Amino acid sequence: MTLDSAEAAASPLLSADRVDLVRSGKTLLDQVSLVVRPGEHWALLGPNGAGKSTLLSLLGAVQHPTRGTVEILGRRLGRTDIRELRRFIGHVNPRHDLRSALRGRDIVLTGATGSIEIPPRWRPAPEEEARADHLMAMLGVTALREETWPTLSQGERGRLLIARALMPVPRLLLLDEPATGLDVAAREQLLTSIDQLRAEHPDLATVLVTHHLEELPASTTHAMLLRGGQVVAAGEAGATLTTKLVTACFDHPIEIERRGGRWSARTAAPGA
């Protein structure tokens, strides 16, 4: 699965075209379209049940659409080996199902094998060990090298899981509510790490799911607003994350402000 450099630069990394997803007779996504290009950083926002994580599961080759097409890295779902495709996608899920007391560095190294646990008899190559150390340093978690999973805070886990997702050098990084459960300091540390990551890897594309505009990194370039499985608005972040469109998406008067590259939201004053 390779693309020459010119083709890779011109091709979208993700393309969902008029996608429907129906489960048990319920429509979870309804005619959703999205194109993500190299270097773009998308946010998916909307109320509970809007379809954000469901859409992310399609973009991560976890589910297939009922109707419509999804192409990931030039390969169409339903016509490619999704196990091979997932090797090129970094997927960060804060509900990582690790059951053992794995050490921080070993958690990152599982990104090289695509497994939750270290496989029996597997030993990392020297270059894999070096990459794990580099990623941990970049994300500010070198001190967690020997710390075990049960002792880690939610914020520490989140940054380790981002390092893990980057081990196979993916072209696409999917982040499913990475700031869930974090206090303000941990959230800010995580968002700073994401901004630094994006700056150091200019061709990397990311898609981040959240309920809260305060959880968006300043490096966010594009946004999609979802409600009831349908697209309310999508496009450049500055034109999409507006008071009018966010109010329509959440069906509540919400005033949006952007300062220093970051967004904030509050209930709009009566008559505003």
Q: pLDDT tens digits for 234-254? A: 999 999 999 999 999 999 999
Those residues with Cβ within 8 angstroms of residue 50's Cβ, 6 or more apart along the chain or in another chain: 226, 227, 228, 229, 249
Question: So what's the pLDDT on residue 240?
Answer: 97
Question: So what's the pLDDT on residue 272?
Answer: 53
197-210 burial code (b ≥16 CB/10 A, e <16) = bbeebeebbbbbbb
Domain assignment of residue 50, yes or no? yes
Tell me the C-alpha distance between 79 and 76, whole Å.
6
Domain match, 63 and 186 both: yes
DSSP class of residue 143?
Answer: G
Expressed as residue numbers, the domain containing 149 is 98-169
Confidence category of residue 83, pLDDT binned at 50, 70, 90 = confident
Q: pLDDT tens digits for 16-58? A: 999 999 999 999 999 999 999 999 999 999 999 999 999 999 9
Based on the structure, what is the number of domains in the chain?
2
Domain match, 28 and 42 both: yes
Q: pLDDT tens digits for 163-209? A: 998 898 888 999 998 888 788 888 888 898 899 889 988 999 999 99
* Phi, psi at 257, each rounded to 5°: -135, 140
Return the CATH number at 254: 3.40.50.300
Domain match, 175 and 165 both: no
Q: Looking at residues 111-118, what average pLDDT do you find?
A: 85
Average pLDDT value for the chain = 89
Domain assignment of residue 45, yes or no? yes
Domain match, 22 and 105 both: no
Smallest Cα–Cα separation from 203: which of 32, 75, 11, 2?
A: 11
Domain match, 184 and 207 both: yes
User: 119, 136, 169: which is the final residue of a domain?
Assistant: 169
Question: So what's the pLDDT on residue 190?
Answer: 86
Domain match, 162 and 188 both: no
* Phi, psi at 256, each rounded to 5°: -105, 135
Highest mean pLDDT among 30-34, 61-65, 77-81: 30-34
Q: What is the DSSP string of 22-75?
A: EETTEEEEEEEEEEE-TT-EEEEE-STTSSHHHHHHHHTTSS--SEEEEEETTE
Tell me the C-alpha distance between 157 and 146, whole Å.
13
The percentage of residues in the chain with a pLDDT greater than 90, rounded to a whole number, is 58
Domain match, 36 and 116 both: no
Question: So what's the pLDDT on residue 39?
Answer: 94
Domain match, 82 and 199 both: yes
Domain assignment of residue 93, yes or no? no
Domain match, 163 and 177 both: no
Domain match, 55 and 179 both: yes
221 close to 42: Cβ distance less than 8 angstroms = yes
Highest mean pLDDT among 7-21, 86-100, 164-178: 164-178
Domain assignment of residue 158, yes or no? yes
